[in-house]
Structure formats: C-alpha cells, structure tokens
C-alpha cells in the first residue's frame, strides 16, 4: 500500500521523478523543434503572412494590421517552448520536459481549432498529426517515469 502512495507522489508533475537518460533525446528534439520553428520565419515569410491573414479573416474578422503581431507572437511562443525544453535537458527535469510537451499540445490544439474554424483541411491534418505525436511523447514520458520508478522500488 505504501508503494502505491509513493508512486502516486512521484508522478511527473509531482516532481518526484528522476531524469531518465531516455528523456535527453526527447528534450533535445523539442528544443531544436522550437528553435527551428522560430528560425524558419524568414524562409516562409510570405506563406505565413497569407496563412495568418486567412486565419484572422476567417475566424476573428481582423484585418491585415494584425498579421505581423500575430506571427511574431506565434513564433515567440514556439521559441519559449523550445527554451523550456532546453532548460529541461540542462536541469534534467522531467517536470519541465512534460510542461514543454503540454505546451506544444496546447499550441497544436489551438491551431487545430483555428483550422476547423477557418475550414482549412490540409492544415488541420498537419496540426492533428503534430498533436498526436506530442501526445505520444507525453505518454512516453509518463510510461518511462512509471517503469523506472517500479524498477527502483524493486532494487
């Protein structure tokens, strides 16, 4: 009975989980994903302007004056999520890593909602795939944490 309580207290968000060596590639991937999403802004500037313009027009009925601030806000959010993942690797914090993955899940949920609202099926498919992959990463973090905790309790 006490072991079950110890495991419940040691959940990823409870802070009692140790860093697993399997978390390092996940954290590095997430850090690079966030940084590269931010860095690609100049490469796809025209496409992003058109896409965000369509979203804002179809969903919130906002004019072209809002396109630039929304693009920069989106890219800054992606950069912050990458920095959180990088900090998770440096600090070896499963809690921060899970927070970064949850941030990406929330981000792609918002994009998927905008895709539905704007009736953009191609983008909806892309964002849904990203959402599923980040959900898999979050599940992997929880499963690895639980397995390592069980193995430590048996040792």
What are the pLDDT tens digits along the chain (155 aa)? 444 434 444 555 555 567 888 899 999 999 999 999 898 877 877 777 887 888 887 777 777 788 888 888 989 999 999 999 999 999 999 999 999 999 999 999 998 988 888 888 888 999 999 999 999 999 999 888 888 888 888 87
User: Are the C-beta atoms of residues 7 and 146 closer than 8 Å to each other?
Assistant: yes
What number of H helices and E strands is found in the chain? 6, 0
On the 0-12 / 13-18 / 19+ scale of CB atoms within 10 A, 88 is buried
Residue 19 three-state SS: coil
Whole-prediction pTM: 0.80
* Residue whose C-alpha is closest to residue 119's, from 42, 45, 57, 50: 57
- State residue 16's pLDDT score: 58
């Amino acid at each position: 009975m006490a072991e079950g309580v110890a495991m419940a207290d040691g959940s990823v968000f409870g802070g009692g989980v140790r860093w697993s060596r399997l978390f390092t590639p996940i954290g590095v991937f997430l850090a690079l994903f966030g940084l590269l999403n931010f860095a690609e802004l100049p490469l796809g500037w025209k496409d992003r302007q058109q896409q965000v313009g369509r979203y804002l027009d179809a969903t919130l009925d906002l004019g072209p004056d809002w396109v630039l601030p929304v693009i920069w806000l989106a890219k800054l959010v992606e950069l912050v999520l990458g920095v959180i993942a990088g900090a998770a690797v440096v600090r070896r914090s499963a809690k921060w890593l899970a927070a970064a993955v949850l941030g990406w899940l929330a981000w792609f949920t918002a994009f998927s909602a905008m895709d539905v609202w704007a009736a953009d099926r191609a983008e909806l498919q892309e964002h849904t795939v990203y959402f599923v992959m980040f959900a898999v990463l979050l599940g992997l973090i929880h499963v690895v944490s639980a397995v390592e905790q069980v193995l430590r309790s048996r040792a």
